[in-house]
Structure 1
Amino acid sequence: MTQKNKQLIETLSLPQDELFEAFETTSDGYTSEVALKKLEELGPNEIKPHKKKNPFVGFVNVLINPFNLVLMVVIAITFITDIILSTGEKDYLTISILSIIVIISTLISFIQDERSSAASEKLLNMVSNTTAALRDKEFIEIPIDDLVLGDIVNLSAGDIIPADLRVISAKDLFISQATLTGESQPVEKFVRFDEESIDGGESDYSNLCLMGTNVVSGTARAIVVRTGSNTYLGKMTHILKTTKRSTSFEHSISTISRLLMRLMIIMLPIIFVINGLLKHDFIGAFVFALTVAVGLTPEMLPVVLSSGLARGAINMAKHQTIVKSQSSISSFGEMDVLCTDKTGTITQDDIILERYMDVNGDDDMRVLRHAYLNSYFQSGLKNLIDLAIIERAKSYNMDDLINYYTIVDEIPFDFSRRRMSVILEDSNDKRQLITKGAVEEIMKLCKYIDRDGKVSLLDDETRKEAMDVYMQHNNDGLRMIAVAQKNDVPADHEFGVDDEYDLVLIGFIGFLDPPKESAKPTIESLNHHGVDVVVITGDSLGVAKKVCNKVGVDTEVTYIGKDIDEMDDDQLREAVKHCHLFAKISPDQKKRIVESFQNNGHTVGFLGDGINDALALKQADVGISVDTAVDIAKESADIILLKKDLNVLEQGILEGRKTIINMVKYLEMAVSGNFGNMISVIVASIFLPFLPLLPVHILVQNLLSDLAQTGIPFDNCDPKDLDKPRKLDSKSLTRFMMVFGPLSSIFDIMCFIVLWFVFDIRTPQQAIIFQTFWFTFGILSQALIIFVIRAKHPFSFKNRPSTVLVLVNALAIGITLLFVLTPLASTIELTILTRPHAIWVFGIVGLYLITTALIKKFVWTPLD
């Protein structure tokens, strides 16, 4: 429990005279002068908005990231080579494409950052403008901004709570906290602080009314104990304004970008110096080195990334899932822990009648009949409990029962009594009063008990035995209601609350919000796919445990909110390793639990729909809400479900994994290929008396290779690869680069050896033949190696490449062959490839593919 929370509980527990003394006030409130002085001293009761960032500064902050820096260096290099140093026609195409890529990716990130502040802005609009405060011994309407600590306010039905208040007097005060907790049932607030309410969050504290909630019924006086940014709502607003933590996917992309930058900084000076010294042309060497920089940069990464995420978003939309933040799709793929609430997600968010029992706990149709008559004949709006009773009674053909009774009168339900009664008359003119309602309220009115068909006095012993039956089933997760009746009903009488006395307790009915039929198989499927489902609920442990047992969530280890408060961060990190059910949990505790899972190395998704879920939604790697959630929850989430069901998440998880798998394919190919090309260029520069490729060759080769890679986001994935969470691991990628990069260099060097020793290509005059050969090999090998890298078993028919991938690679290869086998070769300073050269090119490419496939299958072991 935090220090501030302890102070709040002390404030709520103080006797009223000490409370007034602590706030330097009295039951008559402040005078206008004192209130004004306090307002000047403490400041207005407003949630202070953060100073809004200058949009330009925000845009620059998003622009400066590792990958954009790599691309900006490439843009600068391209500007030098293609425009400043160009002796012929200046080429603006490459620099334009690169600039557009940087601007579009930056704009997308900037727009998402700007949207993140919308949640906190909506919170600020939840509170009304004025409130009735006690000033100069009378209640007057004042702006809520003028409320100060210790002010006494008057509350009545329809009022919105203007600050955090402690109740000092109340009559049937019921508060709707739906905006905070998502629970539609009003909560009664009392003058006395109930120590048991500490087990829940601040919304459960028995005499605390939170800013932004509203009064459903009753009246009260309350004293202001927290204002402005110190209120529960204010703290929530402050946290929602913070930037969402970066995901591991984004972190890995940044790591890879920095790796590419380091490679460029280290290798390019080497290439420049070697070519300058050996070929005595430092200007040409400089241009060549800069061009190599362009060719070695995977500038298609933003395009491939955006294409993959967009494809995932489109596919998820088909499954009733709206993606607000595309980067969250990758987090879906990495997710291995899903924290979710219970109501409406695992359960049907509906009420069914589970048990109807006598006072001994045995099934008794008579109890159901009485409950049915009460629910059927009441004239008010039938709630979910009434409908559940009627439905169950009809299943036993009790419909005919109503033909034997007529209603004489009723005593309607209200929140203060928490019960309702009907007075019926049967065909023999016998009158009967039937009452059902909250167990505690009904027991107070009962003088007798019906046990085994015999009516006797309800003494202390039988009262305790009946309460034990009630508590046993209540702790087992049933929502219990008592049913009572009496036959001594007067004729020609105006019935009212005073007639609800000397009742006979006949039994209880128990209700349950049952699990969805899809919940258990979906949870099993999520577990099969490597996702642990953890239930975090504000509901009681008994109810939550019963539901979780039915759907297959492990309940061997459970914790409630009070347990979480007693743990430090290290203890909580250890606790979450073994627990799948947390009950009576507050919003702060939800956030701590999610953070503890993250600190243990998990990627966490959180599914919630109330303001009390906003902190956890913000903390989670992927926040998930539903279309029917409160606005703040939807604003804080990355993913919106059009249907509150775990089943619709499964497709999202698979789409996320497909996106990451295809991203890894691209990066493995691009990073290892680029590293290998750097090694090959250095080797070629040392031994060749001419440049192995001209700048134009590198740029065209790069363009065609990029074309081949655009199909990767649309590739198919091996179903086995989708069975576990996937992460973009920069360490594994670096390891892949160190193995397969040099491997590709070996076959580049094989090309050099064949050209040097077999075809005797050694002089500068023969450079164009060498360049044509290596140009062709470079594109063919990079295009075809995709089909080897994309799967562990590249030649298996079970995991075939997608049609899109095959087509774009065929197009890239076709254009390449068109350039090197026809007179078009001269347009890019190449010559026509001869048949012997072509045979050797295809032979080395084939050998490269087979070798890579064998190493990948039998030698290479991924870290994950």
Structure 2
Amino acid sequence: MKKIKTPNKEIIRNSPNISSYATMDLTAVIDIFKTQNEGLTTKEADSRLEEFGPNQISEGYKDTVWSKLFEAIINPFNVILIVIAVVTFITDIVIPARKDFFTFAIIILLVFVSSTISFIQSQSSSKAIEKLTNQINNTSHVYRDATLIQIPQNQVVPGDIVHLGAGDVLPADIRFIQTRDTFIAQSALTGESTPVEKFSHTLNDKDMSLTDLENIGFMGSNMISGSARGVVLATGDSTYFGSMAGSLTGDRAKNSFERGVEDISQMLIRMMLIIVPVVFVINAFNKGDWGTSLVFAISIAVGLTPEMLPVITNSTLAVGAQNMAKQKVIVRSTSAIQSFGEMDVLCTDKTGTLTEDKIVVERYMNLNGDDDRRVLRHAYLNSYFQTGLKNLIDFAIINRAEGYKFDSILNNYEVVDEVPFDFNRRRMSVVLEDKTGKCQLITKGAVEEMLSISSFIELDGKVYPLDDEKLAIAKETYETYNHQGLRMIAVAQKNNIPDSEHFSIADESDMVLIGFMGFLDPPKKSATPAIKALEEHKVRTVVLTGDSEGVAINVCNEVGIATNVVYTGGDIEAMTDLELSKAVEECNLFAKLAPSQKTRVISVLQSIGHTVGFLGDGINDAPALRRADVGISVDTAVDIAKETADIVLLEKDLMVLERGVLEGRKTFGNIMKYIKMATSGNFGNIISILFASLFLPFLPILPVQLLTQNLLNDFAQIGMPFDNIDENYLIEPKSWNTRSVRNFMYWLGPVSSIFDILCFAILWFVMDANTLGKAPLFQAGWFIFGTLSQIIIIHMIRTSKTPFIESMSSNELTLSTFIVGIIACVVAFSDIAIGLDMSPLPVRFIPWFVLLLIGYMVAVQLVKKLYIKRYNELI
């Protein structure tokens, strides 16, 4: 085989060639990538990073500046404006001898201003979200300059030697150099539901499919258990994941809010498809001008489309994400903000969320409950020599043992093998050989699982068979300290082990139980007020823990979670889904759960109508995080937990969650204001336009006037994402209710129609705008009333209280609506109106105009109160 002096970029760039490395000798692979077992030097790594680029997947479609600009310009609203601009250009500039550029210029200006605002909002939102997500960094352990260091995953390069432990996400495609009980979940790539074991040996079969290669690991899969080292073969787009990223990143299932918005949008489209042809036909026959009637009907279609919904929604979510970031909550998926506000059940692990996550060794005891340093020594050897994922228990044991100078005995032992921890066995073992050649298997783990593999027990320095009498002694000691709130694990060992280089789970049998380790993980000081605050906002906290009943009950009692009903994993395993659906409504503590049982509890809660959040940070929490409506993790969590979560906390603090819940409800409330305003306003406009089309001899408003009014109203709504929310609105979870939106539309829509018709009457009978020649005056009157009434409705429906008196809008919304109101009045009452083919309104219209607005405000407030009383819901 030809040796390559530098990493061959073509080999690395083509993911199908990765399979060729599976059948190569490890020495050859190392040589191709010009690396060594001790890793690259820093200089070599920097050079390769510059050559191959960051280790990240390019998005199939990326929002570039140009794509955002295109989307800002090419939308239904602007397309109609451009069509009308073309028609106006022909009718006002090309055909007539006396050319009128003003209307055409106004329309082009509208397109420019609309596109600019949409583009700026889109850019600022994207940058804000990108800045927030960049605060969450996944890291990898690599050997650089013969030292194991931690670097950001995007700096991993071909030829790097990576070290992997349980919970790590594979940062690239790798060829395994060394494995130790390495089980990897690659379901995201292959669909396999069970983890697969990986090995370091060279394969002979060249025809195996890529994902079946036992010595190759793929970017995006994650370590379930064991440990491994490997050489990086490909990074970024060159990986197998990169080659199929498009198929792996399909659309996520829509949440209830997204489905609701889609439902309402479809309803408005159906209304538009019905009303536009009707308006066209009526006006064409009544007025006899088919061309103008067609343009008017198309303009009505634009007016009935809530074109600001994407801008308002995205801006509101972006504002929510930034506000949550100030509380040290990073939102990875903005759609999760609304789910956060909708959440009514928070499921949480115990360790590190309710507790300080600072475990200390409180007791090390023999089976009689007496202090015994020999038990601590065995636990120390087990924790120190394991190469898998060291957890807080391991670090607590090591710290306590080194306080007794136990580290001085380490040179007496050599690791032969280990059987890593996994969440089904809930134990781990190491095989050690001392200088005399004696081999010993030392195992530590959850008490019940350790009892199941023990056949002997050590009492008072003697070994006895583990009969019922001796078992009762051990259990009594365990239960005594467990009920005192200590987290207990058991320690066992055996000397009679086979002469073998590789050990397995089968060797964990006929063990000698020697004692217990007791740990203390005190509750957080913030846990009790946080749980109370969540409860006050109608969010119930449910603990799902793999820990024992005694410890879990003790912690829950201290933080204020009811423990009058407690179920274990064994209990729920015996329940049907129907039985479990009743149990989850009455139980707030589930102990000794396996990962699959946590997921089942969440699924059952969802099936009975709850919106469920799950807070976890371990490998065993990943399935539950994925299953929950909103997955919540912490920045110190294992990689797979952070990758799965929708929301990442920079601090393990439940008070942060409570603030996040409120921010989610605030975000939901501001989006709903726009939706209710748009639907009710559109419904009212339909009635008004139908009335005017039937009874007026001219169009009540020209297309250019209608589109200008629509644009002004859009500008008035720009401040809505920043609006204040009433305290009473935030008390309960908020979820989408399509029926509520429709009811609101049917109640409030006709109110605006009634006052539109009153406006028509005043213009017709009082202002004498009742002839074709006076149509521009009539149109100016309805233009200003329609614009101001739409501004007023923003303030009227933004609160269930009395606006301007009991509830004030934010400065941003007040400013945007005030400025637009002034602009609309200047346009309607000055010669600027002529540019929009209107007649400037006389001063004598002002009293009638003010009276109409006051009457409209009073009527909306009364109908709003009746609506709240009728449906018992806040708006």
Q: 1:141 to 1:653 in 2, by over 3 A?
A: same
- 2:276 matched to 1:259? no
**Aligned match of 1:275:** 283
Q: 1:385 to 1:615 in 2, by over 3 A?
A: closer
Post-superposition CA distance 1:60-110 (Å, at most 9, x none): xxx9xxxx99x955555444333256523654555677778599979979x
1:447 maps to a residue whose letter is D
Correspondence list, 1:441-456, <5 A: 444-447=457-460
Separation in 2 of the partners of 1:806 and 1:306? 20
2:324 maps to a residue whose letter is M
**Aligned match of 2:476:** 469
- 2:857 matched to 1:849? yes
Q: How many residues align?
A: 670
1:83 maps to a residue whose letter is V
Contact 1:555/1:580 (<8 A) preserved: yes
Separation in 1 of the partners of 2:246 and 2:628? 17
Contact 1:418/1:437 (<8 A) preserved: no
Post-superposition CA distance 1:509-564 (Å, at most 9, x none): 73222221111211121121121222223333443333223222333444444444
- 2:227 matched to 1:214? yes
- 2:822 matched to 1:834? no
Of 305, 317, 326, 1:318 maps to 326
Separation in 2 of the partners of 1:771 and 1:407? 90
**How far is the alpha carbon of 1:322 from its aligned partner?**
1.2
- 2:689 matched to 1:681? yes
Per the normalisation by structure 2, the TM-score is 0.65
**Aligned match of 1:732:** 740
**How far is the alpha carbon of 1:444 from its aligned partner?**
4.0
Post-superposition CA distance 1:777-815 (Å, at most 9, x none): 111111122221111112464532111111111101111
Contact 1:787/1:794 (<8 A) preserved: no
**Aligned match of 2:176:** 129
Contact 1:371/1:389 (<8 A) preserved: no
**Aligned match of 1:543:** 551
1:633 maps to a residue whose letter is A
Separation in 2 of the partners of 1:407 and 1:571? 52
**How far is the alpha carbon of 1:659 from its aligned partner?**
0.8
- 2:86 matched to 1:83? yes
Correspondence list, 1:662-701, <5 A: 662-701=670-709
Of 815, 822, 834, 2:823 maps to 815
**Aligned match of 1:229:** none
**How far is the alpha carbon of 1:406 from its aligned partner?**
14
**Aligned match of 2:755:** 747
SS in 2 for 1:834: coil
Correspondence list, 1:323-722, <5 A: 323-352=331-360, 367=371, 444-447=457-460, 463=470, 466-473=473-480, 475-476=482-483, 478-480=486-488, 510-567=518-575, 569-722=577-730
Correspondence list, 1:18-57, <5 A: 55=60
Larger-gyration structure (1/2): 1
Of 791, 798, 804, 1:790 maps to 798
1:338 maps to a residue whose letter is L
**Aligned match of 2:302:** 294
SS in 2 for 1:832: coil
Q: 1:146 to 1:316 in 2, by over 3 A?
A: farther
Q: 1:372 to 1:53 in 2, by over 3 A?
A: closer
- Identity among equivalent positions (%) equals 43
**How far is the alpha carbon of 1:258 from its aligned partner?**
0.4
Which range moves more in the overlay, 767-776 or 560-569? 560-569
Which range moves more in the overlay, 728-737 or 617-626? 617-626
Which range moves more in the overlay, 790-799 or 281-290? 790-799
**How far is the alpha carbon of 1:320 from its aligned partner?**
1.0
Separation in 2 of the partners of 1:179 and 1:473? 39
Separation in 1 of the partners of 2:803 and 2:216? 68
**How far is the alpha carbon of 1:409 from its aligned partner?**
8.3
**How far is the alpha carbon of 1:340 from its aligned partner?**
2.0
Q: 1:720 to 1:180 in 2, by over 3 A?
A: farther
Q: What is the root-mean-square deviation in Å for CA atoms of aligned residues? A: 5.1
- 2:148 matched to 1:141? no
Contact 2:537/2:731 (<8 A) preserved: yes
Contact 1:272/1:286 (<8 A) preserved: yes
SS in 2 for 1:616: helix
Q: 1:375 to 1:556 in 2, by over 3 A?
A: closer
Post-superposition CA distance 1:351-393 (Å, at most 9, x none): 24667999887xxxx95999999999xx999997799799999
SS in 1 for 2:252: coil
Correspondence list, 1:237-256, <5 A: 243-256=251-264
Contact 1:606/1:617 (<8 A) preserved: yes
**How far is the alpha carbon of 1:572 from its aligned partner?**
4.2
Separation in 1 of the partners of 2:392 and 2:644? 31
**Aligned match of 2:11:** none
Correspondence list, 1:739-778, <5 A: 739-778=747-786
Q: 1:436 to 1:591 in 2, by over 3 A?
A: closer
SS in 1 for 2:346: strand
**How far is the alpha carbon of 1:607 from its aligned partner?**
2.0
1:515 maps to a residue whose letter is P
Which range moves more in the overlay, 461-470 or 317-326? 461-470
**How far is the alpha carbon of 1:679 from its aligned partner?**
0.7
Contact 1:352/1:514 (<8 A) preserved: no
Q: 1:754 to 1:255 in 2, by over 3 A?
A: same
**How far is the alpha carbon of 1:588 from its aligned partner?**
3.7
Post-superposition CA distance 1:563-618 (Å, at most 9, x none): 44455555544443333333343444433333332222222222222343333333
Q: 1:630 to 1:802 in 2, by over 3 A?
A: same
Structure 1 residues without counterparts, runs of 5 or longer: 1-51, 134-138, 154-159, 164-177, 182-209, 217-232, 394-398, 421-434, 450-456, 485-504
SS in 1 for 2:532: helix
Separation in 2 of the partners of 1:245 and 1:383? 34
Post-superposition CA distance 1:261-307 (Å, at most 9, x none): 01111111111111111111121111111112222222111111122
Of 800, 810, 814, 1:802 maps to 810
**How far is the alpha carbon of 1:483 from its aligned partner?**
12
Contact 2:375/2:514 (<8 A) preserved: no
Separation in 2 of the partners of 1:709 and 1:781? 13
**Aligned match of 1:172:** none
**How far is the alpha carbon of 1:761 from its aligned partner?**
2.6
Separation in 2 of the partners of 1:334 and 1:144? 55
Separation in 2 of the partners of 1:141 and 1:471? 44
**How far is the alpha carbon of 1:655 from its aligned partner?**
1.1
Which range moves more in the overlay, 680-689 or 511-520? 511-520
Separation in 2 of the partners of 1:801 and 1:140? 64
Separation in 2 of the partners of 1:571 and 1:343? 28
Q: 1:417 to 1:675 in 2, by over 3 A?
A: closer
Separation in 1 of the partners of 2:776 and 2:491? 98
**Aligned match of 1:47:** none
Separation in 2 of the partners of 1:345 and 1:144? 48
Post-superposition CA distance 1:670-708 (Å, at most 9, x none): 211111011101111111111111112111111111111
Contact 2:622/2:641 (<8 A) preserved: yes
